[in-house]
Amino acid sequence: MKKILTYIRSYFLEEVKLGHLLFIMLFLSLSIFVEYHWHIERIFSIKYRDKPQLAVFYFLFYGVPFIVAYLSYAIFYKRYTLLSNGRFWLLAFVALGIYGFRCYYHPLEDWLWERFSGRMDQYYFFFLSRQMNQALLLFVPTAFIWWVLHRKEQPLYGFSLKGVDIRPYLWMLVIMLPIVGFAATFQSFKDFYPLVDNIPNMEYSSWMGKVKTIVYEFFYAFDFLSNEFFFRGFLILAFVRFAGKGAIMPMVCWYVFIHFGKPIGETISSFFGGLILGILAYETRSIAGGVIVHIGIALMMDMFGFLLKLLGKG
């Protein structure tokens, strides 16, 4: 834990310039206000669902925080050569293209919805395919970019345990256990967890129901893994060559934007969570910490949800 605090302290003392940080915080504050007041992302996602225009929208929507943060970095750190670097812009557009396409394209959902039409488990396979679709369409293209561009230079973006001490992250989970337990006493938590309760016609008391639940939880965790791989792996470790530690803040800004539509408290906290995990990924060249913490907390919430149902208090 001491090493983690040292990494964070070093980042703020040696890397952060006050003007850049204040600009980023002002930009994100205004963005959160605009989104939660006018719901731009939700309106466009409904209006252009299943249409190619949705991929373009998300390309531009997530491009705003990512590029604005890099522009701010170039100005405040006087790294103007970054703006004329063709390789940087190409990689940035590829990253935005991958995520935009992932937000729009969901053939597996549509196919399984038709394949299981009229069956009791139609909704289960629809929700399962959504998790699979989101995870695979982020993980596979990102891994392909690594194979083409960086496989000779570094391990698969962040997939390394070399020199990584996982004990502090396990202690984080221990600390989070009573906090999540307290959150589980609120009705809003009980109404949302376990996640499989949000799937119509889903029952998990039978043997087959338990198998379906385990499969769903696996892909739920895999979706978290793919997001860590993309944000803390690709967006930092592939962009380090262009901006060093400056690659952390643009990732954080983009990460905040993907939380739009969730409770505003979760969106705001994503800034701090994304920043800390980004610093750790940069320093350790590994996404192990983010994967452990993210998946651990997510599964912990579901665990409490199942426990409450078992005790008849859900």
- Which of 143, 149, 145, 179 has its CA nearest to residue 287? 143
Please state the rounded mean pLDDT for residues 69-81: 97
Please state the rounded mean pLDDT for residues 150-176: 90
Q: What count of other Cβ atoms lies within 10 Å of the Cβ of residue 297?
A: 17
pLDDT in tens, 9-37: 999 999 999 999 999 999 999 999 999 99
Please state the rounded mean pLDDT for residues 67-83: 97
Give residue 40's pLDDT band: very low, low, confident or very high (50, 70, 90). very high
Cis-peptide, bond into residue 194, ω within 30° of zero: yes
Question: How far is residue 260's CA from residue 263's CA, in Å, rounded to a whole number?
Answer: 8
Give residue 182's pLDDT band: very low, low, confident or very high (50, 70, 90). confident
Q: Per mean pLDDT, which range of 207-211, 237-241, 278-282 is the poorest?
A: 207-211
| Whether pLDDT at 263 is above 80 | no
**For residue 220, is it left (φ>0), alpha (ψ between -120 and 50) or beta?**
alpha
* Mean confidence (pLDDT) of the chain: 92
Read off the pTM.
0.92
Structural domain span for residue 82: 2-310
| Whether pLDDT at 307 is above 70 | yes
- Which of 222, 240, 243 has its CA nearest to residue 282? 240
Q: Burial of 162 by CB count in 10 Å (0-12 exposed, 13-18 middle, 19+ buried)?
A: exposed
Q: What count of other Cβ atoms lies within 10 Å of the Cβ of residue 256?
A: 25
The pLDDT of residue 204? 76
Do residues 281 and 233 lie in contact, with contact meaning Cβ atoms separated by under 8 Å? yes
Do residues 285 and 150 lie in contact, with contact meaning Cβ atoms separated by under 8 Å? no
Q: Which residues pair with 262 in a beta bridge?
A: 260
The pLDDT of residue 187? 83
The pLDDT of residue 224? 92
| Whether pLDDT at 233 is above 80 | yes
Token pair recorded at residue 218: 């696996």
Q: Which residues pair with 260 in a beta bridge?
A: 262
The pLDDT of residue 91? 98
The pLDDT of residue 112? 79
Question: How far is residue 118's CA from residue 115's CA, in Å, rounded to a whole number?
Answer: 9
* Amino acid letter for position 210: K
Residue 260, SS3 per DSSP = strand
Do residues 294 and 228 lie in contact, with contact meaning Cβ atoms separated by under 8 Å? yes
Give residue 253's pLDDT band: very low, low, confident or very high (50, 70, 90). very high
- Tokens 């997530």 belong to which residue? 62
The pLDDT of residue 176? 87
Find all residues with CB under 8 Å of 253, minimum gap 6, and list them. 24, 27, 28, 65, 66, 68, 69
Please state the rounded mean pLDDT for residues 129-149: 95
Residue 262, SS3 per DSSP = strand
Please state the rounded mean pLDDT for residues 144-170: 92
| Whether pLDDT at 45 is above 80 | yes
The pLDDT of residue 314? 62
How many domains in the chain?
1
Give residue 261's pLDDT band: very low, low, confident or very high (50, 70, 90). confident
Question: How far is residue 215's CA from residue 196's CA, in Å, rounded to a whole number?
Answer: 11
